[in-house]
Structure 1
Amino acid sequence: MLTLLIWMPGAFRFEEKAPPTPFHQVGAGGPGHSGPNQTVSMDLNSASTVVLQVLTQATSQDTAVLKPAEEQLKQWETQPGFYSVLLNIFTNHSLDINVRWLAVLYFKHGIDRYWRRVAPHALSEEEKSTLRAGLITNFNEPINQIATQIAVLIAKVARLDCPRQWPELIPTLIESVKVQDDLRQHRALLTFYHVTKTLASKRLAADRKLFYDLASGIYNFACSLWNHHTDTFLQQISSGSEAAILSSLERTLLSLKVLRKLTVNGFVEPHKNMEVMGFLHGIFERLKQFLECSRNIGTDNVCRDRLEKTIILFTKVLLDFLDQHPFSFTPLIQRSLEFSVSYVFTEVGEGVTFERFIVQCMNLIKMIVKNYAYKPSKNFEDSSPETLEAHKIKMAFFTYPTLTEICRRLVSHYFLLTEEELTMWEEDPEGFTVEETGGDSWKYSLRPCTEVLFIDIFHEYNQTLTPVLLEMMQTLQGPTNVEDMNALLIKDAVYNAVGLAAYELFDSVDFDQWFKNQLLPELQVIHNR
């Protein structure tokens, strides 16, 4: 076994206490022939060469080469100095990408197993200090996948050491995202996001207090950073090069991801923070700007995917904030409903919306409608002022004309079966049914989402909407021309709505008579439609 005695920049010193693993070869007889108390010195480059050779073998497709290399690496992973060698390898951009990738992965797994003080074979505090310093020396990794892995492993160390043992991490990241070098700025911002995401996920009271302190300290900077990158992107979208536009959009997305974690997890009472509420109110204007950009960018544009992800991220901020802080969300209820309803149920959304965005807007409406924090008890006097305020805003928005329009649009537009759905129903009826009803599909798929929203709105406002649906049923009495596909699809949509609202319609519809007089004759029609 090899034990590191002295750690210095550029050098290891090992003490040999048993037949050595082949980090090096000593003595005329090769491995295993040196004396039991002999001390061997090796510089970092020499150690890297040995480990590099084994890592290269570990990337082989030949199991005869691969297996011994993996065994050797497994033996080394508990040896002091091994992770310093890995750091030296994966930060050397001239080496093979696969080898560097493997070095990063071994380093990342080592954090999980040996970084905690109480872990068996735990790394020494001296080595950890050197590793921490080395990890944030240069944010210049040219390969995206490796850069992401390095950002993740820095976040793993931050989870255990920041801020007590690693107070310089956040200040270093903040300084690094300000630099003018595009690559360094992006890598620092990527790391900043992963560190924020990891720290936000900690749940112990002391850890949450630390994150609250961090959020209050850097929130203003994070907002400024996001606004800067967003404005840069919006300026470049009309005149900049494709590469510059994509670069700005990527930074906008990363800075927004940081803000999402700080906003949702960084404050006990976020509604009392003007910066937080200013950011949240600003989302609606930014969303309109980005949706207009999507109107002018074709589906084959390289920016399209990133642009849609950014738009969806805006909606995730609102959904997460509503979920975690329903009463702090109260000032946003009116604007959220106006925005979502206008883009999903009026002509405002024509030409700019896309399926995932529509789903997110519907989920936002559904969460506001169904939120128990906004529902007063039967005795209004027993309800909190916050609940009554939210309920008042909801009631003022969901007027008869608004509810009627939402109901009619859901049934006559969103409930209509598409060509793709008809084909799937024809080819695999069971698969079609499972697809429609499975698990949390309503959170991500359009049809289940529309049906769940319809059920919740109909349940909440059944007295208003029951006459609307009964009128739609009445207009479809009697047989329908089987050659009129549109009429058949509308009838199918209305029948679907009646089925979903059956519980609420129990006292208003004689289902036995409806079955005998309307459905049974239709079931006897022999036609492929």
Structure 2
Amino acid sequence: MIDYNTVLQTLVVASSSIRGADQQMAEAQLKNWEAEKGFHYHLQSVYINRELSLQVRWLAVICLKNGVEKYWRPTRINAITKEEKLEIRKRLFMTLDESNNQLTIQNAHLISRICRIDFPVEWPTLFEDMILIMDACSHEVNNSVVKLNNLMIIMNQVLKILCTVRIGKARIMLQTKAPILIPHFVKFYHLFFDQWSATFDVAIMEVGYMFLKCLRRLIADGYTYQHRDKSVQEFMELSLQHFQKLLLLHETNPLELLERYIKCYVKLYYNLVRENACAFGLMSCSINILLTLLSLLQQKAELIYNLEVEADGSDFWEKIAIKSFVIMKSITNFVFQEQRSNIVKQRNDKVEVDHCVELLRSKFFTVELVESLINLITDYYLKLRPTDLESWSDSPEEWFNEEMAVNWEFQVRKCAENYFQDLSSHFNEQISTFIMNKIEQLGNDNLDAISKDATLSIFELSANSIRSKCNFYQLLVDYFIPQALQSNDIVNSKLIKRRVCLIINEWFDEKGDSNVRVQVYTFLSNLLADSNNDIIVKLTAVQTLKYMVDDWEFRKRDFQKFNVDIVKNMLELVNSLSSTECKIFILNTLSVVIERNTPLISNELLIETVSIVPIFWQNSNSANEMIIKNSLLRLLKDITISLNKDSHLIHQIVIPLISVCCDYKSEFYGLLCEDGLELWSSVMKTIDSAGVISAKLSDSQYLQMLTHALVNMTEVLPLVLTIIRSYFLVTCAILDNEYGAEIFTVFASYLKTMKDDAVFLTSSIIEIAIMEPDTETNKEVFYNNLTKSRLFQEIIDYLIRDSDNPYCEIKLCLPILRVMIDKTEYFISNITPFELYLLLRNLVKFTRNQFDPKVRKLFLLGLLSLYKNMQYVENGAILFAETDPEAEIEFKLQQQDKQSAIASVLHHWVTAVIELSIVFVEEIRENDDGDLPVYHKHTAYDDEELREIGEEVEDEDKDNEYVQEVAVPVSVERERFTVLVSGDPVHRVVFRRALRDVASGVFNSATLQQRLGPAVVEELQRV
């Protein structure tokens, strides 16, 4: 049994500044005691003992806080007992006069975690208890300010953690307690505000600030309808008065604490607007708050514009401006957006919402105010600031990355741009005239470059609202592009060029015709080629290029004459960059350009692009640049696909990288394996012959990597299966070894839990192996692996089980049907009579429900193959009816030897098979080779990616421009597949002849004729 002194001595050793074996043993002992009864109570006893050192008390409260997190809930193993928790709760507020702020904060975290679990069930009087303590502290002569400050630090943490609760009673109960807490908070806040504003006592300011902070949290999250509470209304009015007073005071005395107060007021308004814009709007002082914020934006516009980011604390006004813009944005959208269903929580809310909207429309959003707001944003907040231009000059790549990635809520210009887009949407009539007037003034020689850029930015931001008011494409060709190209002033030139690129990004849509696109490509090509253009202009041109090329309306023929220049200029640009993000951006854009322009980019240019890979690979080994390798692999993948049959030209670079990325022993495996597999797949699809593959990719190292990926990379299982299928398409002999057997064993273990796409690929792999011409010894090895791995048995089990996924079942039937046709003896020898009965039942059912001629023919050829050899049918007997229970059928089959039982099953299903075959013969008209155009149509059971060349795709119009645009040369893999499919029995076996072969055997069997009946026999004779 542990006691106080034992715990104390262990804490003293563990908190020693000298690391050693004793300290490690003490830490381990503390860990072991966590499950002991009374341990956490003793930790609290150490913490509240002021005579002990800070280090010991600090460690005690940390251990106690962590223990509460782990063991306070009664459902936890080794949970703290109810009695111990009660004793701990009694002493939580015993250290309110603590002078060490960090210890107080840790105690606050401890108490908040207890409240999160215990309130309101175990500790329903939490807030009443804290109010009593608050009142008691205020009447003390000594340390009252310290105690109240520490109590409010605790209160702040409690409110913070309870306000995050979304499920359970805690938040609901907090809202019932809020009206009790608010008057006390306001009383003390008012008291301390009056005191410190007269004396500027820092201690008084701190405690007053804590009361304000708690009020902020409680008002925003402690009410559903803040505007209906009189105390909240009164405090909001008081807060506005104090806010305005402190703004004036800050002009002469810019103290940090004053700034914290001002931020807190703005955060109060911000949180309330984001939580409930209607409640904010119905506050009696809401319009005055908005006007104050607007006045602040107006007064501080010049200051914010000229702020130096490097100066300490200089972003204070920028943060205030950002919050002010977000408040304005939320209110604007609340008033002018049509759909407000998300804020109507009860039926009577709609009346209040409508009243609030009407009030703000009429009293706040006047025509004059909107015009003033637009001018304010345009004149100051949309302009590039001196700090922007400085960063542009000194760190262009870093500035470009920030512009691409920064969240609009963290930078005042981005925030203003976002709000202006909302204004242009809600006030498009006013803004469209305003914008066009501004555009007309761009020719004014007195207008500086930054003002021109800001004017163009408002045009850029208004794309969605004034599109119908102007002819953008005429403006682009006749005005914007010439303006960007003719300017002689360097600063003016680079600003306008960048902005015109951004305008194209925002405005260009499907209505832009081919001629305009060509002019845009010419413009972008000029920007990339001109050595006088700086990095920002070129990077922005690449950004626009990516947007244009990756567009649905992109046409590779229009872009063809720009391919060489643009790709070469991008290669030159990427070699000049130092930023990892910018390099990745260019490499990704190159990938898009190559992918969308296949096959119109020459091999020479593609190989020149590949030449940058070794250098970039070698130079990207640091932790910060490692991610460049992913982009290089994606680029190589797209180049490999584009080269197609000529991909062997880059194998000396590509194939070694596959092992570097996909070998689980490689240092790059975790980061690059998936992209490495993508590259591997593209190489396999474009390898021209089996001779090429045998040189490298059939090495045991690569086959071992493939099996390892199959076992361990299940999140990209379809990708791994695609690679395996590519190997089988080259030649099955590659996998006639232990790796092939292991692959089949993994297939067998996965099959019943595979997703549909993986099932389809697995089925396709087995089909390909069966369809391969039997010119080598590989077929015997394949069938041996199929048996030893239990994959054949797993497929049979899959097909005879109860399932609600006929789509996958039919797909998996296809390899089994091909086994029946290819190796009937193998099939019969590896299936039990009862399994055969269940399988044939499902095969007949699927055949009846299958209307695709190609798939239906394969089903019937497979079924008929069982009746070609009469030895499987001889000695069959009528043992059971179809209505007999399955258990009875299984029992009767077990009473016979296997050959007789198999014959009995085949006798049972012969009528259904022959009837379905006769119907099929009557429906189709095959040519002399057994083929038919409809057999070459794409079906739901064919792979979208791997199609026979010339295969017809339903509803595909070859003259359609979109179809022509996405068309690419036939891959080598499709050529291999087409050759393979040319020997498919579906295309090579005349079905009528196959049925006649079976019929001849039937006519020699009196038992079968009796089973069929005279009507079916007569129809069979007419075939």
TM-score, normalised on structure 1? 0.80
Q: Structure 2 matches for 1:180-329, cutoff 5 A?
A: 180=140, 181=143, 182-237=145-200, 244=201, 246-298=202-254, 304-329=255-280
Is 1:499 matched up with 2:460? Answer: yes
Against the structure 1 CA distance between its residues 168 and 365, is the aligned structure 2 distance closer, same or farther, given a 3 Å change threshold?
closer
Describe the SS at the equivalent of 1:503: helix
Deviation at 1:274, TM superposition (A): 0.9
Does the C-alpha gap of structure 1 residues 395 and 150 become closer, same or farther in structure 2, counting only changes over 3 Å?
same
One-letter amino acid matched to 2:423: I
CA distance in 2 between counterparts of 1:107 and 1:296 reads 46
The Cα of 1:374 is off from its aligned counterpart by: 6.1
TM-superposed deviation, 1:64: 4.5
Superposition pairs for residues 472-511 of structure 1, below 5 Å? 472-477=438-443, 480=445, 487-511=448-472
Alignment partner, residue 282 of structure 2:
331
- What is the CA–CA distance in structure 1 between the aligned matches of 2:430 and 2:383, rounded to whole Å? 23
Q: Say whether 1:50 aligns with 2:3.
A: no
**Residue of 335, 340, 343 corresponding to 2:296:** 343
Measure how far apart 1:228 and its partner are: 1.5
Amino acid of the structure 2 residue aligned with 1:305 = E
Go from structure 1 to structure 2 and tell me whether the alpha carbon gap of 1:340 and 1:375 turns closer, same or farther (over 3 Å shift): farther
Q: For 1:82-231, what aligned pairs fall within 5 Å after superposition?
A: 82-166=39-123, 169-178=126-135, 179=137, 180=140, 181=143, 182-231=145-194
Shift of the 134–385 alpha-carbon distance from structure 1 to 2, 3 Å rule, reads closer
Superposed CA offset, 1:29-64 (max 9, x none): xxxxxxxxxxxxx5x3x224322233224x54x365
The alpha-carbon distance between structure 1 residues 437 and 223, as it changes in their structure 2 partners (threshold 3 A), is farther
Matched letter for residue 418 of structure 1: R
CA contact (8 A) 1:294 1:307 kept: yes
| CA 349–221 in structure 1, closer or farther in 2 if over 3 Å, else same | farther
Is residue 2:379 matched to residue 1:403?
no
Q: 1:460 to 1:521 in 2, by over 3 A?
A: closer
Q: Does residue 29 of structure 2 align to residue 72 of structure 1?
A: yes
Q: Which residue of 1 aligns with 2:889?
A: none
Shift in Å, 1:208: 2.8
Quick one: distance in 1 between partners of 2:48 and 2:290?
Answer: 49
CA distance in structure 2 between the aligned counterparts of 1:296 and 1:175, rounded to whole angstroms: 39
Q: 1:349 to 1:290 in 2, by over 3 A?
A: farther
Distance 2:483 2:120 in 1: 73
* TM superposition shift of 1:164: 4.1
Q: Which whole-Å CA distance do the structure 2 matches of 1:166 and 1:292 have between them?
A: 44
In structure 2, the CA distance between the partners of 1:90 and 1:384, relative to structure 1 (3 Å rule), is closer
- AA aligned opposite 2:67: G
* TM-fit CA distance, 1:527: 4.3
CA distance in 2, matches of 1:350, 1:430: 27
SS in 1 for 2:465: coil
Deviations 1:394-448 (A, max 9, x none): 3322222222221111111112222211121223334323323536x32232111
Match of 1:517 in 2: 479
Unaligned runs of 5+ in 2: 305-313, 341-348, 492-1023
Task: Return the letter of the residue paired with 2:9.
Answer: V
Q: Is the 8 A contact 1:48 1:88 kept in 2?
A: no
Distance in 1 between the 2:427 and 2:125 partners? 55
Secondary structure, in 3 states, of the residue corresponding to 1:249?
A: helix
Residue 447 of structure 1 corresponds to which residue in structure 2?
A: 413
The letter for the 1-side match of 2:14 is L
1: CA distance, partners of 2:192 / 2:334: 34
For 1:314, the aligned partner's letter is: Y
Q: Given residue 273 of structure 2, which amino acid in structure 1 is its aligned partner?
A: L
Does residue 490 of structure 2 align to residue 528 of structure 1? yes
Kept after mapping to 2: 8 A contact 1:374/1:390: no
C-alpha contact (below 8 Å) 2:300/2:317 kept by paired residues:
no
CA distance in 1, matches of 2:359, 2:337: 10
The match for 1:424 among 367, 370, 391 is 391
d(CA) in 2 for partners of 1:63 and 1:493? 64
Whether the 8 Å contact between 1:233 and 1:248 is mirrored in structure 2 is: yes
Q: Distance in 2 between matches of 1:83 and 1:347?
A: 53
State the SS of the aligned residue for 1:135. Answer: coil
Residues 55 and 103, structure 1, Cα contact 8 Å, conserved in 2? no
Higher helix share: 2
Partner amino acid, structure 1, of 2:74: R
Q: CA 1:373–1:328 in 2, change beyond 3 Å: closer, same or farther? A: farther
Q: Which runs of 5+ in 1 are unaligned?
A: 1-13, 15-22, 24-41, 238-243, 299-303, 378-382
Q: Report which structure shows greater RCO (CA 8 Å, sep ≥6).
A: 1
Task: Give the distance between the partners of 1:277 and 1:475, measured in 2 at CA.
Answer: 47
- The change in CA–CA distance for 1:284 and 1:175 in structure 2 (over 3 A counts) is same
- CA–CA distance in structure 2, aligned partners of residues 373 and 221 of structure 1: 38
How many pairs are equivalent? 463
Across the aligned residues of Structure 1 and Structure 2, the Cα RMSD in angstroms comes to 2.8
Distance in 2 (alpha carbons) for counterparts of 1:55 and 1:131: 23
SS in 2 for 1:136: coil
SS in structure 1 of the partner of residue 166 of structure 2: coil
Corresponding letter in the other structure for 1:96: S
**What amino acid maps onto 1:151 in structure 2?**
A
Distance across 1 between alignment mates of 2:206 and 2:238: 20
1:465 has 2:427 as partner: no
Q: In the alignment, is the contact (CA less than 8 A) between 2:10 and 2:26 conserved in 1?
A: no
Amino acid at match of 1:522: A
Q: Tell me the equivalent position of 1:35.
A: none
Q: Secondary structure, in 3 states, of the residue corresponding to 1:278?
A: helix
The CA distance in 1 between the partners of 2:482 and 2:336, in whole Å, is 44
1:194 shift after superposition:
1.6
In structure 2, the CA distance between the partners of 1:334 and 1:374, relative to structure 1 (3 Å rule), is farther
Q: Conserved in 2, the CA contact under 8 Å of 1:290 and 1:307?
A: yes
| C-alpha displacement of 1:67 | 3.6
Question: Pick from 317, 323, 343: which aligns with 1:354?
Answer: 317
Contact 1:291 1:311 in 2 (8 A): yes
Aligned-pair CA distance for 1:225:
1.7
Q: Which amino acid aligns with 1:338?
A: L
**Structure 1 position 66, deviation (Å):** 4.8
1:348-393 Cα distance to aligned partner (Å, 9 max, x none): 998998221111111111110112786479xxxxx94334323323
Larger Rg: 2
Alpha-carbon deviation of 1:151? 0.9
Return 325-334 or 403-412, whichever deviates more.
Answer: 325-334
Between the aligned partners of 1:168 and 1:512, the Cα distance in structure 2 is 68
